[in-house]
Amino acid sequence: MDIIERKRSSFLNLLHWCIVVAIVVLPACMVNDAVSQSINPPMPTTVLFQNVRIFDGKSDTLSAPSNVLVRSNKIAKISTEPIPVDRRADTKIIEGGGRTLMPGLIDAHWHTMLAATPLQTVTTGDVGYLNLLAGKEAGDTLMRGFTTVRDLGGPSFGLKQAIDEGVVAGPRIYPAGAMITVTSGHGDFRHSFEVPRTIGAPLTRQEQLGGSMVADSPDEVRVRVREQLLLGASEIKLTAGGGVASPHSPLDVSTFTEPELRAAVEAAGNWGTYVTVHAYTSNAIQGAIAAGVKCVEHGHLMDEATAKLMADKGIWLSTQPFSFEEDSNPFPVGSTQWAKKMEVAAGTDKVYALAKKYKLKTAFGTDILFNAKAAAEQGAFLAKMVRWYSPAEALRMATSVNGELLRLSGPRNPYPGTLGVVEEGALADLLLVDGDPVADIKLIEDPGKNFVVIMKDGKVYKNTLTK
């Protein structure tokens, strides 16, 4: 009887826990599944845009009225003739009404973790809080029509993973990881009481966050580059000269030595990718080119001989329309940082003039830092490019030209495929614009009103045409 009673007791205990699972665990799983579906609503496998005029990312004018079929995450067909659709398939039809279909915008110099968060918060805030702020800003970035960003400094790997997995909405991220700097260089935000640096000492706050890493020899540079590649960097960024935001780096200084820069280029090259450098002056740019760097960020203070050298060597220029009236780096008037910002802004007209004269491969980016107001005006930075270029030229920079730059990552490209164009086989990152941005680029300044459909990777994230 004792054996029978024990078996009976065991059966009742098992039955009890089964009931607990049925009552508690399964509903919780159903709730979690519902939450997951609310984050990632089921999307049609096929989307047909009807009656749209296409800016393909390359042309000066819009196409004739056309139809564009998106299947899965790619553009499957473009035709001026009707495209038949299997009505039994899970297809979404979007009636364009003659609006403009164009590629999603690409920002070639963005800071996903730093753009909208004040510097004081970045340097002192809780890491979890900083990531939540960046996640919100990533969603806002996508809703501004920027479906891809090239992140050039900051701990964006986790956010990129969350976006790619559909946990949060945001643009594609091409991450450089921590920007690599020298002691006292651009990106060294340490206070005076944090030096001298002891080799082997604990990492500083900036290094713990993954915003920047200090490296003062070729061997240290190799380690820091390889660490970023291990974490998933698609390109590597070094600060070859002084910068605006950093408190200890005058604009005229060159920082890394040529052997240090070569160490970075070699380590990145071994992984099939490239190094880009922050550099304003001719000396910093020429030193970087001598070391094998393929892209220069900024360049506002370079001379004509340096621009010619870049053209001869096929070096990319990734520069930004800094101007006196904007405040992408919000520092107090009269401060050292403010004075440096004014000096850089004074070189903007010259850098674009040189880029045009020597036909440099020129990418568009914003480099907005620590300023939510400026981040919200990301599209306005593109619109102001008409000071130097035609609207079509500016739009090409932010689409097909930037897409070409992204391909420099080679096998480290996190999103293999063609970006920045509307053509068959390209990845389906698309904007439906209420108007013609080639005729009126200011439409880009108000994405909330003028971008009626936003698609990334074949998924519709915004559609105001749905009734």
Round the average pLDDT of the chain to a whole number and report it: 89
pLDDT digits (tens, 9 = 90+) for 302-334: 999 999 999 999 999 999 999 876 555 567 788
Determine the Cα–Cα distance for residues 213 and 375; give it in Å rounded to an integer: 25
On the CB side of 169, CA atoms within 13 Å amount to: 20
Q: Is 405 in contact with 295 (CB distance < 8 Å)?
A: yes
Determine the Cα–Cα distance for residues 18 and 241; give it in Å rounded to an integer: 65
Please report where in the chains the tokens 């291990």 appear, as a residue: 230
Longest dimension (CA), the chain: 100
Q: What is the pLDDT of residue 326?
A: 55
Angle of the 258-270 helix axis to the 218-231 helix axis, nearest 10: 30
Q: What is the pLDDT of residue 105?
A: 99
Determine the Cα–Cα distance for residues 137 and 462; give it in Å rounded to an integer: 16
Cβ contacts of 160-167, under 8 Å, gap ≥ 24: 160/112, 160/232, 160/414, 162/135, 163/138, 164/414, 166/39, 166/40, 167/39
Q: Is 316 in contact with 296 (CB distance < 8 Å)?
A: yes
Positive or negative, the Cα torsion across 213, 215, 220, 222? positive
Q: What is the pLDDT of residue 87?
A: 67
Q: What is the pLDDT of residue 34?
A: 34
Whose CA is closest to 422, among 100, 97, 96, 95? 100
Please report where in the chains the tokens 């932010």 appear, as a residue: 398
pLDDT digits (tens, 9 = 90+) for 350-397: 999 999 999 999 999 999 999 999 999 999 999 999 999 999 999 999
Q: What is the pLDDT of residue 11?
A: 41
Strands (DSSP E) contained in 372-439 are 430-433
Provide, rounded to the nearest whole percent, the portion of the chain with pLDDT above 70.
88
Positive or negative, the Cα torsion across 78, 365, 393, 140? positive
Q: What angle do CA 112, 116, 121 make, to 5 degrees?
A: 105
Asked if pLDDT for residue 235 goes beyond 80, the answer is yes
Positive or negative, the Cα torsion across 419, 425, 429, 430? positive
pTM, entire model: 0.89
pLDDT digits (tens, 9 = 90+) for 90-114: 889 999 999 999 999 999 999 999 9
Asked if pLDDT for residue 417 goes beyond 50, the answer is yes
Determine the Cα–Cα distance for residues 467 and 44; give it in Å rounded to an integer: 17
- Alpha carbon of residue 43 to chain centroid: 24
Q: Which range among 10-24, 120-134, 448-462 has the greatest average pLDDT? A: 448-462
Q: Which range among 30-39, 221-230, 332-341 has the greatest average pLDDT? A: 221-230
Q: Please state the rounded mean pLDDT for residues 196-202.
A: 72
Collapse the DSSP code of 333 into the 3-class scheme (helix H, G, I; strand E, B; otherwise coil) and give the result: coil
Strand-pairing partners, residue 364, are: 319
Q: Please state the rounded mean pLDDT for residues 185-201.
A: 77
Please name the residue ranges forming H helices in 232-335. Answer: 258-270, 282-290, 304-313
Phi-psi region of 397 (alpha: psi -120 to 50; beta: other; left: phi over 0): alpha
Whose CA is closest to 395, among 348, 458, 439, 455? 439
Determine the Cα–Cα distance for residues 165 and 40; give it in Å rounded to an integer: 9
Asked if pLDDT for residue 249 goes beyond 60, the answer is yes
Q: 14 CB contacts (<8 Å, ≥6 apart)?
A: none
